[in-house]
Structure 1
Amino acid sequence: MGWALVALLATAAGVLAWRDPRRLSIAVLIALAAGLATIGVLGRAALVLDDSDDPLPLAWAMLGVLLLAYAALLVLGVASVANGIAMVRREGRSPAHLLSFVFGVGVLGFCAFVLTVWWVDQNHTDVARELFLWLVALAAPVTYLAVLFVAFVGYGLLYGWAARRWARPVDAVIVLGAGLRGDRPTPLLAARLDRGREALDRSRARGRDTHLICSGGQGSDEVVPEAVAMANHLVEAGVDRDLLWLEDASTSTEENLRFSAQVAARHGVDGGRFAVVTNDYHVLRAALLLRQVGLDGYGLGARTALYFWPSAILREYAAILWEHRRLNAALLAVTCVPTLALLVRAAA
């Protein structure tokens, strides 16, 4: 029954991906199938070890899995804190730049709580039992958020690879703005423009009359609209200005896409196929928004500096949670029932 469910989940994910891979539900189905398959393999291994007359192999195997998981959490926490410090040093202090640091502190705090439960268990069994209940209760919402995070990141990487590998010709390439330094693109935006130029050349080489849309308005701290600076950068790199269309009014990713579609329609491309170019950490959410606004196409990701990626992907994950806040709030409320029960018992 268990493996049949794994096959059913994997098949459902495959069918949805074939129809339109720009669905977050595909990521959840893949994560559930992978999780159930892992549980099945571990359960089979436990049964094999349990058949032995000697219980020690099973006990050592279980201890090894727990220690490996704990060590992985420690490494994740330390690496996230170190990345947060590096991010602040290179990019300056801001709530967005502190995300990986806060995440790392949270992971290390959870590790410390687990270690506390173990230490107390060696001396005070009754207290340890109570702490263990709290640990299990807290693990429910943490596991929910962790599974969603792994699903989002894992499918984002898979989607980005597949989109690059099987990218089809398009009517227009939309490059999303990402801030300026004076009147010049930042390195982050320059990487997007390079990827956009590659997509433009590849699509035109396959016989499509493809144009590139520079999409980005003018922020309060910018001297020119992002679209203008992007177009200038591309012309300096050798792109024919006649192949460039400008969208200089947007202030968000959704507006980037809606307004760019309007620009394309004014040039005779109405209901065409688009490739939206952004950075790799943002490519899945951009593709999801492309589908949400009713446009056909796919997302392409430009490489991001390694130190910048953790905070950026956490920001994207937070945005995904917020965009589906009602569903996530409901599911989190369910996972928090054991914690609420413990709080009520403690207050009684």
Structure 2
Amino acid sequence: MQKQQQIISFPSIANERSDFPLRRSYRDQVAWQQLQQYFSADYQLNAHNQPTEYYWAWREQHHIHIDYYPQATAAAKIILVHGVGSNGRQMSLILGRPLAEAGYECLALDLPAYGLSESRTKSILYQDWVAVLDDFIRAQQQKDDRPIFLFGLSAGGMLCLHVAARNPQIKGIIAMTLLDQRYAVVNRGTMRFSALSRINLALLGLLAKTPLRQMLLPMRWVSKMDKLCNHRLACQSMLNDSSSAGNAMSIGFLDSYMHYQPEQALQDITGPALLLTQPACDRWTDLSLSEPVLQQLSLDYQVVLLPQGGHYPIEASALNALKQHSLRFIAAQL
């Protein structure tokens, strides 16, 4: 007997939530629809459970695309953040929609230069990512006093921690890796041509001080993006997607990312509780690359493994574990 997929409808209220009319929509993008073919049916989006989409104007020069699952009576909001090889819609696939169906309000951002977000400037630095996430969180906090949790995948995990150094009101962080690129072991493990990482970093620093800082480099040239997903066809689908793993970022951004100094020492961050959800079969960033951060933290944290999961997990066992651990973690903080 074939298992019936549960269908939960979410209202489409983009025009009510937009700071200006909706421009591009994921409903018209083929890339994520191709990617989700490699997910189990329980984790695929359809016409009934896709998120609402709207744009949020930030600092006049940026229009930030938001995937939004509204839940007016939810006990908490979860803001989902991608890394340098993914986008907001891919966060909605793996955790946004599952948590929304569990009753939480979920919002997934496309950070500047990724996904469907639009910018009038090419001068985007990692500091802008920190600032936009912090400002978006504060905007949500002004709407109501519901607690806010963050989920960050890959570079998004450390981004959440960097924002927690600025915003003590974050209730909890669910991170999928914590990669502090200031550590040689981390940039050797994440950068392409690991043996040359110190030389490459020095070269980035020099070029970032010249007009060449605006030059775009495909992320697959500078990182081990071919290890993003353990499913070969799914990984290739992401690499072909210019809004996620197929993106290119400026030398200036890459230099600012690799050398970012948080506004507070990691050991002084005391606000949120932390759950590290480490994919057990991550061929790019295993648990050892998060250890330099974990060893510095004074806040409460726990580590769980996602069975069979790759760096961007599409495996049903890993996604089921991610959902269940996340739900228990959130409930424990409320």
After TM superposition, the score normalised by the length of structure 1 is 0.26
Kindly indicate which of the two structures has a greater share of residues assigned to helix: 1
TM-score by length of 2: 0.26
Structure with bigger gyration radius: 1
